[in-house]
Amino acid sequence: MNWARLASALAGALLFGAVQVRAESLQVQPALVDVVAPSAASTITLRNEGTTPTNVQIRVFRWSQVNGEESLQPTDDVVASPPAVTLLPGTDYVARIVRVVKRPVATEEAYRLLVDELPDASRAKTGTVRLLVRHSIPVFFGSQARTPPSLDWTISRQDGRLIVSAHNRGGTRLRISALSLRDVSGHKISFGRGLVGYALGQSTMRWAAPASGRKFATKGSVSISGQGNDGPINAVAPVVAAP
């Protein structure tokens, strides 16, 4: 199958109104789960705000950051109960998230909870495109002795773009948003006002700047500002060779 041709045809159909796009209304609360020992469980609430029943699958993955990139791996250490449910229109359902492994939490463990709306072939209609919803919920299990985040920043270049690296020496994640860079000449690059990502504890994460960094200084230092979940971010980072 020629996927490019299919995508082009779908785009054209959408443009001229030949296809109706229908998004479902699966809502999940809260947007983040944080459990501190000795507690080992929490809950999420699913809600179907649509007009038809919705089949939902709930899965848990171990979340890590390897070589500056996100990694999700299957795990049996934390489970969702139940792993699947059918939500009737206008109803709520409470699912449990339980850490079942017996070893103590050393600092903070990170997981991602994927809540997927499943397709229902019996409700498929010709000329209708259903956009299935996926929610990705951060889940953290931490010890009472976990240390706060402590980040070391560096700036490098790759293919003309600036790469921002954050190494978190602490034992707790840092949620990073509204990130911006400014060099000694006043050139500025903004990542926007929204979420950039997380720097997990004892991990390194990298992000590519959304705009070209060709005007940025090739040496010296760059000022970094942003917002973390525990307050403002203000740092100075050296410009280093590409990783």
Which tens digits make up the pLDDT trace of 143-152?
999 999 999 9
83-131 pLDDT, tens digit each: 999 999 999 999 999 999 999 999 999 999 999 999 876 665 545 556 7
Task: Say how far apart CA 208 and CA 160 lie, in whole Å.
Answer: 10
pLDDT band (50, 70, 90) for residue 10? very low
Flag whether 104 is in a domain.
Answer: yes
Q: Where are the alpha helices (DSSP H) in the chain?
A: 3-15
Task: Say how far apart CA 139 and CA 61 lie, in whole Å.
Answer: 10
Residue 63 and residue 121 in one domain? yes
What average pLDDT does range 168-188 have in this prediction? 95
Count of the separate structural domains present in the chain: 2
Q: Which residue in this structure is represented by tokens 């019996």?
A: 122
Q: Which of 122, 142, 162 is the last residue of a domain?
A: 142
* Stated pTM of the model: 0.85
What are 167's two structure tokens? 């190494």
Flag whether 12 is in a domain.
Answer: no
pLDDT band (50, 70, 90) for residue 241? confident
Domain range for 174: 151-238
User: How far from each other are the two terminal CA atoms of the chain, in whole angstroms?
Assistant: 38
**What CATH number has the domain bearing residue 100?**
2.60.40.10
21-34 pLDDT, tens digit each: 344 589 999 999 99
- For the beta sheet containing 78-81, the strands, ordered from the edge strand earlier in sequence to the opposite edge, are 26-29, 41-48, 92-99, 78-81
Residue 32 and residue 115 in one domain? yes
pLDDT > 60? residue 201: yes
Flag whether 86 is in a domain.
Answer: yes
Mean pLDDT in the chain?
87
Residue 91 and residue 155 in one domain? no
Residue 213 and residue 110 in one domain? no
Residue 161 and residue 229 in one domain? yes
Task: Say how far apart CA 90 and CA 158 lie, in whole Å.
Answer: 49
